[in-house]
Amino acid sequence: MAEETVVRARVRHEQDRSYTVLVLGSAGEVEVGRTTETGQLHRLAVEGAVRLLRVPSEQVVVELVVPRPPYGRDGQLVRITSRDVPEDHGVLGQAHWFGAEGAWFVTVAGSGTGIVPTEGLDFVPQVGDAELAELTAYLQRAGQEG
pLDDT of residue 56: 92
Separation of alpha carbons 123 and 22, rounded Å: 25
Residue 72 covered by a domain: no
Residue 58 covered by a domain: yes
**How many structural domains comprise the chain?**
2
pLDDT digits (tens, 9 = 90+) for 5-47: 899 999 999 999 999 999 998 889 999 999 999 999 999 999 9
pLDDT of residue 27: 86
pLDDT of residue 4: 93
Same domain, 53 and 89: no
Strand order in the sheet with 19-25: 28-35, 19-25, 5-13, 60-65
pLDDT of residue 143: 76
Strand ranges (DSSP E) for 14-53? Answer: 19-25, 28-35
Residue 70 covered by a domain: no
Below-70 pLDDT ranges, the chain: 1-2, 144-146
Same domain, 93 and 125: yes
Residue 71 covered by a domain: no
Write down the pTM of the prediction: 0.86
Range of the domain at 82: 77-145
pLDDT of residue 104: 96
